[in-house]
Structure 1
């Protein structure tokens, strides 16, 4: 599932700026539930990554039991921070 598909799944549109605050809250809540239910690492990571971009991600030790997954999440955060610093 790509980024736009995730946005459409949880928010009904790929334009996050068009999402009403109440729909944003509902989508984030559904993502949190799905994160807790997801058993496949790639699916959990994709949900967590979108939550992170939205500023709503749980702490790494809560989201990921596996240290390799936590390290991948740290790497993503570092890349996003570096990209933000360049803009």
Structure 2
């Protein structure tokens, strides 16, 4: 999935931080809904990564409670992101 395309799809721009609060909230709500109904594992994980980047992702245990492999991948992603942030 292309990050810029996802941001444009949900927010109408590839810079959601430039949106007013109402427009950003609408995009976030659309993203949460699509995440909740997505059945394809790789697409669901990609949507979660976008949500994480925006600071709105549920914890891996909640997001992927029925998909242990995705939960583990999300935890590894967060661990790597945390390590990069500390450096």
Same fold per superposition (TM over 0.5): yes
Matched, 1:14 2:18: no
- Counterpart position of 1:85: 86
Q: What displacement does 1:16 show? A: 2.3
- Counterpart position of 1:45: 45
Instruction: Kindly tell me the number of residue pairs found equivalent between the two proteins.
Output: 86
Matched, 1:74 2:64: no
Q: The residue matched to 2:48 in structure 1 has which SS?
A: helix
Q: The residue matched to 1:32 in structure 2 has which SS?
A: helix
**2: CA distance between counterparts of 1:44 and 1:76?**
14
Q: String of CA shifts for 1:35-77, please: whole Å, max 9, x gaps.
A: 1110000110011111111111112222111111001001111
What's the TM-score once normalised by structure 2's chain length? 0.90
User: Please, what is the CA RMSD of the aligned residues?
Assistant: 1.1
- Counterpart position of 1:26: 26
Structure 1 residues not aligned, in runs of 5+: none
Segments ≥4 residues shifted beyond 6 Å: none
Q: What displacement does 1:34 show? A: 0.3
What's the TM-score once normalised by structure 1's chain length? 0.90
**1: CA distance between counterparts of 2:44 and 2:50?**
10
